[in-house]
Amino acid sequence: MTMKKSSKKRDSKFGFDSFNPLENKTVLLGISGGIAAYKACDIASMLRHAGADVHAVLTPNAKEFITPLSLTTITRNQAHCEQYGAQANWRPEHIDLAKKADLILIAPATADLIAKLAAGICDDLLTTMVLASPAKVMIAPAMNPVMLQHPATKHNLSILENRYRYDVIPPEYGEVACGDWGTGKMASVDTIIAAVAARLLAHLTLSTKRLLVTAGGTREPIDPVRFIGNRSSGKMGIAMADAAHGRGADVTLVSTVDVERAYPVIVVETAQEMQDAVESEFDGCDALVMTAAVADFRPLTTSNHKIKKTDSEDLVLELTKNPDIIDLLGRVKRKDQVIIGFAAESEALLSNATQKLKRKNLDVIVGNDISVPDIGFGSDDNAVIILNSDGAKESLPRMPKRAIAEHLCDLLAERFQAIEKTPVH
Ligand code: PMT
């Protein structure tokens, strides 16, 4: 067998083939008014050379740093700046553009623009287009380090980071335009292009799959006021659902935390409600990912009225076992379904997680050591071991929960590929 040399060269810097990898992708390049705006020309040029259809949108202040003509010439599309003005069509062209964009990249994003996005203000063309578009928005902040550290900017950035539509490409340390040193310099053009490419190319890997994800901790009512609960914030499950949705999966999230998302979210409170929701969706799904911390026990009875303090020193609650949702579904799952469980352990992580993997007939278990401070419950980060039913094992060091979720999406895509190759008897 002879091997033909591929005409597509691998561009290791950005992780994509250098032959038009972003073909058929429409990118809106938003530019706000900071000195880093001069780099927008390089960004536009690299995106266009990667095959993307790039449309530049400048804020009025951006025009003080860079001209629409430069961007029109580089992108080969008319750059947009004016919110009002004469138009050829009854429907403004920029609204159509906002709707068809695969991605909005704002580079540079000034403190002012970030504040407007956080508040939903749309007083210029760029902010209006962001609000009119369902597309993912990536922002590359660039500003003076003191402005970046200002509580208002930090607050606005955290609002965007917690909104599923936004990804922040962190600014870097270095000398900024005014001569100060610190973190605030816009990420390098290479870093921005790599992040955009990763986002645009990742989304297809789960596009034909239906994923059911659980998130949060169940609450088992004692009376109308009190409940038995746990410290799960839902962050891990929401990150998992977002990552799978970003890759094109048809996602349903069953969650004890109410979040606004572009995919269905079924909000539940108790383990029994979670069981009902998961069981009704399970048959139609290709994978179940149970990150939820489900209470193992619930009060045998729930008082209709607030339990009053009595003279007695003790209050005895009688508990009864909750259904083990994943265990029940592990017994009935089809060969073409994948189940991923999570294990929160405060000791003997490896052996306890291994036992759960086997006992609950799971395909994969993700173990986290909740005795380590600042990871696991409630935090934005986690560090996990991933155990596969075929014996494969890997450890992921501390990283954002979203990064762990992306890793699990890769793992799921591989599993689905293997299932599709398995002959059906
Ligand atoms: O929500 P965060 O704040 O982001 O925190 C994330 C997390 C720490 C909750 C998450 O990473 C995690 O570890 N989730 C599982 C926690 C747990 O309670 O594990 P477990 O060992 O009790 O259960 C093992 C598996 O069985 C889990 O997939 C669980 O969802 C499932 N289970 C457990 C009990 C039950 N009655 N029914 C179940 O389906």
**Helix extents (H) in 323-373:** 325-332, 349-359
- Ligand 1 atom, smallest distance to 356 CA: 24
Q: Which has the closest alpha carbon to 194: 76, 54, 70, 50? A: 50
Both structure tokens of 12 = 């290791």
State which of 326, 332, 379 you would mutate to test the pocket of ligand 1, scoring each by most atoms of that ligand within 8 A of its C-beta: 326
Fold agreement (26-201, 210-421): yes
From 41, 81, 122, 178, active-site residue: 178
Tokens of 306: 């607030």
Q: Which CA distances in Å does 369 have to 54, 112, 184? A: 45, 40, 34
Residue 64: count of CB within 10 angstroms of its CB: 13
Task: State the pTM of this model.
Answer: 0.65
User: Residue 330's pLDDT is what?
Assistant: 96
Going from the Cα of 104 to the center of ligand 1, the distance in angstroms, rounded, reads: 35
For ligand 1, atom 23, name the residue with the nearest CA. 343
pLDDT, residue 12, reads 43
342 alpha carbon to ligand 1 midpoint, in Å? 5
Q: Which residues pair with 16 in a beta bridge?
A: 11
Q: Residue 346's pLDDT is what?
A: 92
Closest ligand 1 atom number to CA of residue 344: 13
CA distance 113 to 37: 13
SS3 189: helix
Contacts of residue 331, defined as CB under 8 A and 6 or more positions apart, other chains included, come to: 361
Ligand 1 centroid to Cα of residue 345, in Å, is 10
Best mutation site among 319, 321, 342, 396 for ligand 1 pocket (most ligand atoms within 8 Å of CB): 342
Q: Are 164 and 244 in contact (CB under 8 A)?
A: no
Supply the pLDDT for residue 202.
66
| Nearest residue to 8 via CA among 99, 17, 155, 234 | 17
Is residue 44 within 8 A of residue 32, CB to CB? The reply is no
Residue 220, classed as helix, strand or coil, is strand
> What pLDDT is stored for residue 203 in this prediction?
60
Q: Which residues line ligand 1 (CB under 6 A)?
A: 216, 232-236, 271, 290-294, 296, 322, 324-326, 341-344, 356, 368, 376-378
Q: Is 103 left (phi over 0), alpha (psi -120 to 50) or beta?
A: beta
How many angstroms is it from 127 CA to the middle of ligand 1? 40
Q: Is 294 helix (H, G, I), strand (E, B) or coil?
A: coil
- Please say if 41 is a catalytic residue: no
Taking 50 as the pLDDT cut, the residues of the chain under it are 1-13, 15-18
Are 124 and 30 spatial neighbours (Cβ–Cβ below 8 Å)? no
What pLDDT score was predicted for residue 29? 98
Cα 172 to Cα 184: distance, rounded to the nearest angstrom: 6
- What integer pLDDT is reported at residue 373 of this predicted model? 87
CATH of domain 210-421: 3.40.50.10300
What are the boundaries of each domain within the chain?
Answer: 26-201, 210-421
Q: Counting atoms of ligand 1 from 1, which one is nearest the CA of 292? A: 30
CA of 411 to the centre of ligand 1 (A): 19
| DSSP secondary structure letter of residue 18 | S
Closest CA to 246 of 199, 288, 210, 279: 199
Q: What is the C-alpha to C-alpha distance for residues 14 and 21, in angstroms, rounded to an integer?
A: 10
d(CA 247, CA 201): 9
First to last CA, the chain: 31
Which protein residue's CA is at the shortest distance from atom 33 of ligand 1? 294
- Domain range 26-201, CATH class: alpha beta
Task: Tell me, in angstroms, the distance from the centre of ligand 1 to residue 186's CA.
Answer: 39
Closest ligand 1 atom, residue 360 Cα: 26
